[in-house]
Structure 1
Amino acid sequence: MAFVVTSLCDGCKYADCVTVCPADCFHEGETMLYINPETCTECGACEPECPVAAIFHEDSVPDECQEFIQINEEMAAKLPSIVTKKPPLAQ
């Protein structure tokens, strides 16, 4: 199990969560961030840092966002890691 970034991140890409992640498990896409479930330690530090409440534990992902469990896994494998905060898309 891991934490999952859902569609609520799409278009804003706040990176507050990245700076508190001890496992460097975030990956940056063009319009949103993704969590690598292979490296996520389930510490939960990222969840309260997300200003748009886009991060959920895999067991708590809303029904309408269930596909993001697989999307995070697939996209994290393809995209570069992000370990520093960058300006968000939505300001």
Structure 2
Amino acid sequence: MAEEQDPLIDLTEGRELVINRIVSGGFYGSQHVILLGTNRYGAGPDGKLQGQCAIVARLRFDNDMAKILRDALNHGLAVLSPPANEKAN
């Protein structure tokens, strides 16, 4: 009999955002802290349209999770690059 897993809880309420900025990051205490952002437009103090950055995620994780994230990103990026021994025709 297969083990029953906890149900997945989606705290995003189904919303998806494009992350295209690292607002800040660092290592504090024993955790990596990264703020992720997205570009958006908003009104400035003068009422004119201006580009802004909105923080959309605040992440804190330990070294083990940082390595898991690194490995997952490296794997995803490797798919985008052709193998080193492959030549164009």
Report the TM-score, using the length of structure 2 for normalisation: 0.28
Question: Whose strand proportion is higher, 1 or 2?
Answer: 2
Question: Whose helix proportion is higher, 1 or 2?
Answer: 1
Larger Rg computed on CA atoms? 2
Q: Which structure carries more relative contact order (alpha carbon 8 Å, separation 6+)? A: 1
